[in-house]
Amino acid sequence: MQRLDGYSILIVDDDIDILESFELAMRAEGAKTAKATDGTEAISRSYEEMPDAIILDMMLPKRSGFLVLEELQNMDSPPMVIMVTANEGKRHMAYAKSLGVAAYLMKPVSLDRLIETVSSVLKDSSKIS
């Protein structure tokens, strides 16, 4: 069985190459995927798709990953969020964690590590499928 079989994942990144490689990796593990390339689209897709998890870039056009996180907290049952960023600031990591991210990964991140993290976060969550 694939590690992400039955899960839906929204992938948010403004770098099309990263977006497509993350999507291929998630689909190869059985996930249903949706994509967004900016923060505003990420929020609307979150409400439309109701994903189990979101892979979220921090630096996005229109709205930053932090603004997306703040908005997601208003959802009745917010998805698990894995933030992926090239920003090494400890303050950013602390703030992301205070907003409820399930994991915080530094770019470049290997696809194996990303899949393992997403799988682990979803399996550890108390979300009933």
CATH number of 82's domain? 3.40.50.2300
Asked whether residue 124 is domain-assigned, the answer is: no
pLDDT tier at 128 (50, 70, 90 boundaries)? very low
pLDDT tier at 127 (50, 70, 90 boundaries)? very low
What pTM was estimated for this model as a whole?
Answer: 0.94
Asked whether residue 58 is domain-assigned, the answer is: yes
Asked whether residue 43 is domain-assigned, the answer is: yes
Asked whether residue 75 is domain-assigned, the answer is: yes
Domain total in the chain: 1
Alpha-carbon torsion (100, 41, 62, 54), positive or negative: positive
> What's the mean pLDDT when you consider all of the chain?
93
Phi-psi label, residue 30: left if phi above 0, alpha if psi -120 to 50, beta otherwise: left
Asked whether residue 108 is domain-assigned, the answer is: yes
Phi-psi label, residue 50: left if phi above 0, alpha if psi -120 to 50, beta otherwise: left
For 100-109, the CB contacts below 8 A with 24+ separation are 100/69, 100/73, 101/56, 101/69, 102/53, 107/18, 109/84
**Residue type at 114?**
L
Q: Which domain holds residue 50?
A: 8-118
Asked whether residue 68 is domain-assigned, the answer is: yes
- Of 36-50, 88-102, 106-120, the least confident: 88-102
Dump pLDDT digits (tens) for 21-72.
999 999 999 999 999 999 999 999 999 999 999 999 999 999 999 999 999 9
pLDDT tier at 1 (50, 70, 90 boundaries)? confident
